[in-house]
Homo-oligomer: A and B are copies of this chain.
């Protein structure tokens, strides 16, 4: 099948005009090697690991959620060179669908909602909201961890009936306001930040990782494309590798333990010097650092802003 034909089908599944404006330049054909497409592979990311697998599988087209070049470039970095070499030498064209597939019917968010088992799902502009059997925050977190086979981090204890989900990085104020407005009790997404945690203590917030909340949608896309006649379609898995560890002592236990003991666990910078003396030393070091910062042109300082 010609690429142009496949693009038509993909644009029906995830119409490009559904994409966020910031995705300009990142949706659609990213690399067109003009070859008859016989084998498609689908994956979450476009990187050298995926492209190597794709080459091994003799794919002609790789469809991903995250594009190859996120920020526009003038130079080819080494990792990009490695990925491009694999694509170019093995004749693998690239196609990317991102926020358009998040929003699309049957896309990232619909699949995520289904995987978690939400009922009576309502479609918001981009996320989804639905109901579950009443449970506690830790029960929901456990359920999500099992359903998505991912470690999760969560906060906010409450009884939960309504859950809003958003695949990928969705802990943004505007989405949490939608959650509140729609009387959600919990919000499942990824890349939870401190300020969101502080400002939405009334909600149960579950960070189920970017990978685990988006990968199912790409698996599903793969299944749908398998229905195309005369084309083989495979999925490439690339787990995030994330693991959780929690060695926090409960408050009660901490109170019971000797503070000194805690200190033996983790060595601490010793601050034995006379406080006056040490304060003077630190201030003179700060002075050196201030002078250095001041000496930087405003441009080089500014780089930390973006």
Tell me whether A120 is interfacial, beta carbon within 8 Å.
Answer: no
CA–CA, A31 to B81, complex, Å? Answer: 8
Contact B194 A286 (CB under 8 A): no
Report which residue of A12, A143, A168 has the largest number of chain B beta carbons within 10 angstroms of its beta carbon.
A12
Contact B301 A105 (CB under 8 A): no
CA–CA, A242 to B171, complex, Å? Answer: 15
| Chain A 273-306 residues near chain B, CB threshold 8 A | 275-276, 279, 282-283, 285-287, 289-290, 293-294, 297-299, 301-305
Contact A240 B155 (CB under 8 A): yes
Residue of B nearest to A244 (CB): B244
- Assuming the contacts A26-B74, A194-B190, A197-B242, asked whether A88 and B79 have C-beta atoms less than 8 A apart, the reply is no
Contact B282 A115 (CB under 8 A): no
Number of copies: 6
CA–CA, A143 to B265, complex, Å? Answer: 8
Contact B193 A151 (CB under 8 A): no
| Residue in B15, B155, B240, B298 whose beta carbon sits within 8 Å of that of A286 in the complex | B15
Tell me whether A259 is interfacial, beta carbon within 8 Å.
Answer: no
Residue of B nearest to A268 (CB): B114
Tell me whether A89 is interfacial, beta carbon within 8 Å.
Answer: yes
Among all A-B residue pairs, the 3 with the closest Cβ atoms: A114-B269, A147-B266, A72-B72
Contact A21 B149 (CB under 8 A): no
Residues of chain B with a CB closer than 8 A to A69's CB = 73-76
| Residue in B75, B156, B245 whose beta carbon sits within 8 Å of that of A30 in the complex | B75
Residues of chain B with a CB closer than 8 A to A84's CB = 76, 84, 88
CA–CA, A267 to B58, complex, Å? Answer: 34
Contact B289 A18 (CB under 8 A): yes
**Chain A 48-90 interface mask (CB, 8 Å, partner B; 1/0):** 0000000000000000001111101111101101001100110
Contact A268 B45 (CB under 8 A): no
Contact B305 A265 (CB under 8 A): no
30 A-B residue pairings within 8 Å (CB atoms): A12-B286, A13-B286, A15-B287, A17-B294, A18-B290, A22-B305, A31-B75, A70-B74, A88-B88, A104-B282, A105-B286, A114-B267, A114-B268, A114-B269, A115-B266, A117-B267, A117-B268, A142-B247, A151-B153, A151-B245, A154-B245, A155-B242, A168-B194, A190-B194, A194-B209, A197-B211, A227-B276, A227-B279, A244-B244, A297-B298
